[in-house]
Amino acid sequence: MTELNKIALQIISNGKGILAADESNGTMTKRLDAVNVTSTPENRLLFRETLFSSESMRECIGGVILFDETINQITSSGKSVPDLISSTGATPGIKVDTGAKILANSSEEKITEGLDGLRERLKTYYKLGARFTKWRGVYSISNKYPSELAIYSNAHALARYSALVQECGMVPIVEPELLMDGDHSAEVCLSKTSEVIKRCFEQLIFHKIDLTGVILKPNMILAGNQSKNKISNEEVSKKTVQCLRDSVPNEVPGIAFLSGGQSEIEATKNLDLINKNNNTEFKMTFSYGRALQQSALKKWSKNNKDIKDTQITFNHRAKMCSLAAQGKWSNELESK
Ligand code: 5MM
């Protein structure tokens, strides 16, 4: 087993998943505005520190993805944020892309940037304690999208990013996210997601990536949020497993889904069914942002001095996601 494979498995095994707390300041400001909290570096740290020192970190969270500001912050106990995370047994990770920008010659689509100077930034993050990284390519679904240009250029960037990350001794999370916006059917989501994932792995293989040291972070297969033909959770899970079985090379140790705008319960229920129907060797877990943090953020915004209450809310969500990652979640446990 290589060191990279060991890190990847440590993050996603034994019912553990990933807390995606890597909102850039723009996104975090939107989240905080929505609950009437001023977005300052201190408030962003306070909320995140509250989550990272929760009890469920030990049992349910294998890795935390941070944003550049957070990985450099010092917590109230005097420990750095990565040290606080490591002290719970979880692995600190870092988002290293610099965001999705308009793709020249297909201006309704996006290309993710951040390759310039990446090798040097990675060395700094490694010294700060990061052992895995994240890069998100984002694609929209419509009759003409994602275009060949968006598929190729994002796959190429994901592969170049992965090569630099592995060179630096860290595990790359490869996140191709096909957005749920639109009126497309689940079948269309399935065929376009399969195409995008296959093309990403083509590039990863071409760039000589060690696939045993990669975690894939895909969307689940859902009908678009404007579609009149929604499918059941059971169908979501079957189509998602089918998509991954057909498009992900067997060497990849695991898959950690994004929640993509699903509610906390939907994201948990779908992950649970995915694991109940998982007929592959891949570990299937969560790498949720909103679906792990939403309720906790609401609670915290009401009284940010009441750390315990926020942590109780987060612990419950993390526990439910962890059960779902083992196919052991149920409605009864959810409402206990
Ligand atoms: C946490 O949000 C991440 C994006 O942040 P920015 O848009 O601010 O860069 C995002 O990449 C996230 O990690 C994944 O999309 C998963 O989050 P959700 O909320 O979809 O589970």
pLDDT tens profile 311-335: 999 999 999 999 999 999 999 999 9
Q: How far is the CA of 274 from the centre of ligand 1 (A)?
A: 21
Rounded to the nearest whole angstrom, what is the distance from the C-alpha of residue 331 to the centroid of ligand 1?
A: 26
Catalytic residue positions? 175, 217
pLDDT digits (tens, 9 = 90+) for 35-83: 999 999 999 999 999 999 999 999 999 999 999 999 999 999 999 999 9
Instruction: Ligand 1, residue 65: give the atom nearest the CA.
Output: 13
Q: How many domains does the chain have?
A: 1
| Percent of residues, the chain, with pLDDT higher than 90 | 99
Q: Is the CB–ligand 1 distance for residue 106 below 6 Å?
A: no
Report the CATH number at residue 235.
3.20.20.70
pLDDT of residue 79: 98
pLDDT tens digit sequence for 182-216: 999 999 999 999 999 999 999 999 999 999 999 99
Residue type, 89: G
| Closest residue by Cα to residue 265 from 234, 308, 240, 233 | 233
- Whether residue 306 is predicted with pLDDT greater than 90 in this model: the reply is no
Three-state secondary-structure class, residue 185: coil
Q: How far is the CA of 317 from the centre of ligand 1 (A)?
A: 17
Smallest CA separation from ligand 1 atom 11, residue = 136
Report whether pLDDT(336) > 90.
no
The average confidence (pLDDT) of the chain is 98
Q: Name 254's bridge partners.
A: 215, 283
pLDDT of residue 220: 98
- Cβ neighbour number for residue 170 with a 10 Å cutoff: 25
Which range marks the domain in which residue 16 is found?
3-334
DSSP of 226-277? T-S----HHHHHHHHHHHHHHHS-TT--EEEE--TT--HHHHHHHHHHHHHT
Residue with structure tokens 């505005």? Answer: 33
Mean pLDDT of 111-123: 98
For residue 304, the model assigns a pLDDT of 87
Structure tokens at 85: 């995370």
